[in-house]
Amino acid sequence: MPSCRVWIEPDDRGEPAMVTAKILVVEDEFITGADLQNNLREMGYDVPVVVDTGEGAIKKAGELQPDLVLMDITLIGEMTGIEAAAQIRDRYGIPVIFLTAHSDDPTFEKALHSEPFGYIIKPIEPLNLRTSIEMALYKHALDKKLKKINEELELRVRERTLSLDQQVQFLQQLIDTIPAPVYYKDTRGMYTGCNNAFEAYAGISKRGIIKKTDSDVFSPDFAALSSQKDSFLFSRHGIQVYQAKFVHSDQSVRDVIFKKATFNDTGGNLAGIIGVMLDITDRIRAEQALLESEERLRAVVQDQTELIYRYRHDHTVMFANQAFLQYFHKTAQDTIGYIFRIRIHPDDDARVREHFRSLTPDRPVASIEYRIIMPDGTVRSQQWINRAFFDDTGHVTEYQSVGRDTTERKEIGEIRKET
């Protein structure tokens, strides 16, 4: 007896497995149904049962899960073979071949619209029967395989789309956490996005700026400058930094540093610009206030009668007040930025060196009195209060010294001692 088989899904080892095809026969004529069952079994098919109603066909299809249903179009009962085939297809996805006695029957014409896997005209020829069954089984197996491939592709597309959506969402959330205003434009100069900080700073929502240019949302002066800078950057690529005035959402004019960079698409082509805004208004104000404070302090220091100067570890003078310059017969032009060493009396040199070595981060200030030799060779006595400044590693970076001449005081003391 020949054996008929049908391809099914790969087994656990990935190898395609084959089993004997199971066929459900639905025929309301008992003799015809029995003959059909016997013929199919002789061909090697598994034909467990023959049913004669549409309702019975649906029930048995669910129980037996056959590989194919041979369905007579005209059945006893209220349900036709067409209606039963539609439910079997929708519920279980089982292919159906229709059996009919008249190919010109209007009912048969209606059956063709239900997309059967084939039809056989009675009386049934064995060769035609077997060929129709094998073609239907092959087509159904192929459809299942294609359906599975499509489902896998759709799943991959959905997963990829979801992954891309998650990446875009993550990047947007990441950009939104940046406290500085961030925005990006395409090569036409149209905004394609921004972060929350940009919305708050510029006073424009994401929706209000998308697909808009600078001239659509900002002042003519700013738009002209931004367009000029963008064009230059597009022609050169890379990074661009410049400072400009920007009207804040509170209508105050702010000083802003713009840092822009071009970016490419996946094909390596220029896609647009991403920009970051850094508000330096407060820093400029603080620097101006500090400068003014330093000027006032400098004026106070200049008016002091004490000798005041500040110098690096290598004795390069950073500042010297007027009293210091006059005392040593120097000018600011030949002193500031130059190395200046006070000539210490040889008998006091070792003690002075030890004094400076004793200054530490915990004890940065100390006073000392010693003699110096002036340019004209005279010896003068001085008292100095020295402060050392240290870096994070504990090394001296600068010294600040405040001194005064004590020669006359010491001479008076000597006279009084002699008297």
Domain map (residue ranges) of the chain: 5-149, 178-279, 290-418
- pTM: predicted TM-score of the whole model, two decimal places: 0.46
**CB-based contacts of 25, cutoff 8 Å, min separation 6:** 33, 36, 37, 40, 47, 49, 50, 51, 69, 70
| Range with lowest mean pLDDT among 23-37, 48-62, 141-155, 343-357 | 141-155
What CATH fold (topology level) applies to the domain 178-279?
Answer: Beta-Lactamase (3.30.450)
- Please tell me the predicted confidence (pLDDT) of residue 175: 83
Residue 268: Cβ-neighbour burial (10 angstroms; 0-12, 13-18, 19+): exposed
pLDDT of 5 higher than 70:
no
Tens of pLDDT, residue by residue over 123-168, are 888 888 899 899 988 888 888 888 888 888 888 888 887 777 777 7
What CATH fold (topology level) applies to the domain 5-149?
Answer: Rossmann fold (3.40.50)
Task: Indicate if 290-418 has the same CATH topology as 5-149.
Answer: no
Distance from chain centroid for Cα 274? 13
DSSP bridge partners of 385: 367, 402
List, as one string, the DSSP characters of 391-415.
Answer: -TTS-EEEEEEEEEE-HHHHHHHHH
Residue 251: Cβ-neighbour burial (10 angstroms; 0-12, 13-18, 19+): exposed
The C-alpha atoms of residue 367 and residue 385 are separated, in whole angstroms, by: 4
List, as one string, the DSSP characters of 115-136.
Answer: --SEEEESSPPHHHHHHHHHHH
DSSP bridge partners of 215: none
- Please tell me the predicted confidence (pLDDT) of residue 107: 63
Which two tokens mark 147?
Answer: 């359906």
Q: Which CATH class is domain 290-418?
A: alpha beta
Are 6 and 67 in contact by the 8 Å Cβ rule? The answer is yes
The C-alpha atoms of residue 118 and residue 137 are separated, in whole angstroms, by: 10
The mean pLDDT value for 109-114 works out to 66
How many residues are given for the chain? 419
